[in-house]
A and B are shown apart, each in its own frame.
Chain A
């Protein structure tokens, strides 16, 4: 399996354009896709999975046979029972692992006799996650897989994803609003805003991003070239910088906190340059 390459991808709608997008996704990585609602995350995932046609560019390295998916709101008809889902999936995927699926059902406390429409949103999501994993894919493409899940189950799901990544040929592309999930597991973060990539960094580089909270006097002391984005609040400034280790020495009198993925996303999208 080659790495996934997205070259110059463009998808145009009458009121929105995604791209041009260029991303290389090496195998063995968990890619976190973040951004506001309507930024283009789902459109990018749909393009990756061939759900929509792209207007320009190419996507290589994704084979439908090797992909497990969790889509935001698309699955089997909800009048089916959980056990029916297993029967159907078994015929859809040659690699379907019946026992693995049963293990997930037990782990997620999913009763095989329940009808899908009787499941809560979180339970339904768990069902979809179990299906995406049970056919032993090499790539997982997950659109908001943890939405509706409580923190304990989210944690369990993240652990399952980490187990999946024990095989270094595996890849996960995961879009989410819950950026704290990514803090723990993502190897690379891609932030999309208004159809364009505004951040494409490895976790190591992200670790070096920092936040300075200061008054206007200190703000004026900071070299503008060191500032990626800043936000002026009522009483202070929030400043996003990308080379914390270096700037810690440069601005010794200021406190530079480690920036969370959420801090980075909010300041990149809402901050000023």
Chain B
């Protein structure tokens, strides 16, 4: 299991310069106020994990891994865990950067906003991956890429339509009425459960898959 995780991290290391460059661009754009660093930086973890699928596919790693002890199970488990590890790592970086940027620009640090944005981003990212991971395990990254693009496109259209046509200020009003802690717990639970269910589906797909 550890070997599988090490493999993904070492594979990503070869692209480290590109990822650091992306991080720098995000920081610069955030300083400008064009980007919220809390939204963008954690997406780096997505880029890293999705790229690792491409590297695996190019070298037929999964076929080799299927011959290892508990290989098929670990193929799936490691990917789900690597995303969690990288996501939390990038989240910590983004929170620290957000605090620094906030300190130098507005001189007041909105801790609650930082915390909530991070939490909801986290849930969103894990739900998105809960949906796309099983497709990748079923069809391979090359075919699943189109499904992922389709999904992101559809998601963007839906969000775009909602935000431009519906007055969402009532949500803020509703938010103020509900116990914030309860809401956060429910949202977190939805994220965790959907990610775990997705893991079970991907594991099932991979245990039966032929390479």
Known contacts A53-B210, A65-B69: does B64 contact A75 (CB below 8 Å)?
yes
Interface check A71, CB cutoff 8 A? yes
B99 CB, nearest partner CB in chain A, Å? 34
Interface size on B, residues (CB 8 A): 27
The dominant DSSP class at the B interface is helix
A114 CB, nearest partner CB in chain B, Å? 13
- B2 contacts A91, C-beta separation under 8 Å: yes
Which residues from 53 to 82 on chain B have a C-beta closer than 8 Å to any C-beta of chain A? 55-56, 58-61, 63-64, 66-71
Complex-state Cα separation, A273 to B59, whole angstroms: 43
B44 CB, nearest partner CB in chain A, Å? 18
Among B3, B14, B67, B211, contact of A80 (Cβ-Cβ < 8 Å):
B14
Complex-state Cα separation, A91 to B10, whole angstroms: 13
- A79 contacts B14, C-beta separation under 8 Å: yes
Select from chain A the residue with minimum beta-carbon distance to B210: A52
For A78, the chain B residues whose CB sits under 8 A away are: 55, 58-59
Which residues from 1 to 48 on chain B have a C-beta closer than 8 Å to any C-beta of chain A? 2-4, 6-7, 10-11, 14-15
Q: Mask for A64-82, Cβ within 8 A of B = 1, else 0?
A: 1101010101111111100
For B208, the chain A residues whose CB sits under 8 A away are: 53
A14 CB, nearest partner CB in chain B, Å? 13
Interface check A36, CB cutoff 8 A? no
Known contacts A69-B67, A78-B58: does B10 contact A88 (CB below 8 Å)?
yes
Complex-state Cα separation, A92 to B4, whole angstroms: 7
Among B59, B67, B69, contact of A77 (Cβ-Cβ < 8 Å):
B59
Please tell me the size bucket of the interface on A: 20 to 34
- A91 contacts B64, C-beta separation under 8 Å: no
Select from chain B the residue with minimum beta-carbon distance to A90: B3
Interface check A207, CB cutoff 8 A? no
Interface check A263, CB cutoff 8 A? no
Complex-state Cα separation, A92 to B55, whole angstroms: 19
Interface check A49, CB cutoff 8 A? yes
- A92 contacts B210, C-beta separation under 8 Å: no
**Residues on B facing A (Cβ under 8 Å):** 2-4, 6-7, 10-11, 14-15, 52, 55-56, 58-61, 63-64, 66-71, 208, 210-211
Which residues from 68 to 120 on chain A have a C-beta closer than 8 Å to any C-beta of chain B? 69, 71, 73-80, 84, 87-93, 115
Complex-state Cα separation, A71 to B63, whole angstroms: 9
Known contacts A52-B210, A53-B210, A64-B71: does B7 contact A76 (CB below 8 Å)?
yes
- A77 contacts B55, C-beta separation under 8 Å: yes
Among A65, A71, A87, A92, contact of B10 (Cβ-Cβ < 8 Å):
A87
- A75 contacts B10, C-beta separation under 8 Å: no
Complex-state Cα separation, A88 to B64, whole angstroms: 13
Which residues from 28 to 58 on chain A have a C-beta closer than 8 Å to any C-beta of chain B? 46, 49-53
Complex-state Cα separation, A52 to B62, whole angstroms: 12
B79 CB, nearest partner CB in chain A, Å? 13
- B63 contacts A77, C-beta separation under 8 Å: no
For B64, the chain A residues whose CB sits under 8 A away are: 69, 71, 74-76
For B4, the chain A residues whose CB sits under 8 A away are: 92
Select from chain A the residue with minimum beta-carbon distance to B64: A74
Name which of A65, A73, A77, A78 has the most chain B CB atoms within 10 A of its CB: A77
Complex-state Cα separation, A76 to B60, whole angstroms: 8
Complex-state Cα separation, A65 to B61, whole angstroms: 18
- B3 contacts A74, C-beta separation under 8 Å: no
B60 CB, nearest partner CB in chain A, Å? 4
A9 CB, nearest partner CB in chain B, Å? 15
Name which of B6, B10, B60 has the most chain A CB atoms within 10 A of its CB: B10
Sample of 15 more A-B contacts, CB < 8 Å, known A77-B7, A90-B3: A51-B67, A53-B208, A53-B210, A73-B60, A74-B59, A75-B59, A76-B59, A77-B58, A77-B61, A80-B7, A80-B11, A80-B14, A87-B6, A89-B3, A92-B68
